[in-house]
Amino acid sequence: DAIPGGESQMQEYPGLYNLIEHKTSAKEFYDSLPDRIRDQICQQADTIDSETSLKNMAQQFLEQEG
Protein backbone atom coordinates (compact mmCIF):
# COMPACT_ATOMS: atom_id res chain seq x y z
CA ASP A 1 0.00 0.00 0.00
CA ALA A 2 1.20 3.48 -0.84
CA ILE A 3 1.73 5.83 2.05
CA PRO A 4 -0.36 9.02 1.74
CA GLY A 5 1.73 11.92 0.49
CA GLY A 6 3.84 9.72 -1.79
CA GLU A 7 6.44 8.98 0.86
CA SER A 8 6.74 5.40 -0.38
CA GLN A 9 8.47 6.81 -3.47
CA MET A 10 11.46 7.89 -1.41
CA GLN A 11 13.29 4.89 -0.11
CA GLU A 12 15.65 5.85 2.66
CA TYR A 13 19.08 4.35 3.17
CA PRO A 14 20.92 4.81 6.45
CA GLY A 15 24.09 6.64 5.47
CA LEU A 16 25.95 7.48 2.30
CA TYR A 17 27.69 4.12 1.91
CA ASN A 18 24.46 2.18 2.19
CA LEU A 19 22.85 4.52 -0.34
CA ILE A 20 25.53 4.21 -3.02
CA GLU A 21 25.77 0.47 -2.46
CA HIS A 22 22.07 -0.04 -3.21
CA LYS A 23 21.22 2.76 -5.62
CA THR A 24 23.16 2.85 -8.88
CA SER A 25 22.10 6.37 -9.87
CA ALA A 26 23.32 7.74 -6.52
CA LYS A 27 26.65 5.95 -6.92
CA GLU A 28 27.09 7.32 -10.44
CA PHE A 29 26.33 10.83 -9.20
CA TYR A 30 28.73 10.47 -6.27
CA ASP A 31 31.47 9.08 -8.53
CA SER A 32 31.08 12.05 -10.87
CA LEU A 33 31.85 14.58 -8.13
CA PRO A 34 35.29 16.15 -7.68
CA ASP A 35 37.45 14.47 -5.03
CA ARG A 36 37.33 17.48 -2.71
CA ILE A 37 33.52 17.45 -2.74
CA ARG A 38 33.42 13.69 -2.10
CA ASP A 39 35.79 14.20 0.84
CA GLN A 40 33.47 16.81 2.36
CA ILE A 41 30.44 14.59 1.82
CA CYS A 42 32.22 11.63 3.45
CA GLN A 43 32.73 13.69 6.59
CA GLN A 44 28.94 13.95 6.89
CA ALA A 45 28.10 10.54 5.39
CA ASP A 46 25.83 9.52 8.24
CA THR A 47 23.51 12.50 7.66
CA ILE A 48 22.69 11.33 4.11
CA ASP A 49 19.63 9.09 3.79
CA SER A 50 18.52 9.52 0.17
CA GLU A 51 19.75 10.45 -3.28
CA THR A 52 18.05 13.82 -2.85
CA SER A 53 19.95 14.61 0.34
CA LEU A 54 23.20 13.55 -1.36
CA LYS A 55 22.54 15.90 -4.30
CA ASN A 56 21.51 18.75 -2.01
CA MET A 57 24.68 18.40 0.05
CA ALA A 58 26.88 18.25 -3.05
CA GLN A 59 25.20 21.37 -4.43
CA GLN A 60 25.75 23.16 -1.14
CA PHE A 61 29.49 22.37 -1.12
CA LEU A 62 29.85 23.36 -4.79
CA GLU A 63 28.13 26.70 -4.12
CA GLN A 64 30.38 27.36 -1.11
CA GLU A 65 33.39 27.09 -3.41
CA GLY A 66 31.91 29.79 -5.63
What integer pLDDT is reported at residue 3 of this predicted model?
47
Q: Over its length of 66 residues, how does the chain's per-residue pLDDT go in tens digits?
A: 444 444 445 678 899 999 999 999 999 999 999 999 999 999 999 999 999 999 999 999 999 987
What integer pLDDT is reported at residue 9 of this predicted model?
52
CB 11 within 8 A of CB 50: yes
CB 23 within 8 A of CB 13: yes
CB 15 within 8 A of CB 46: yes
What integer pLDDT is reported at residue 66 of this predicted model?
77
Burial class (CB in 10 A: 0-12, 13-18, 19+), 49: middle
What integer pLDDT is reported at residue 12 of this predicted model?
83
Tell me phi and psi for residue 11, to 5 degrees. Answer: -80, 135
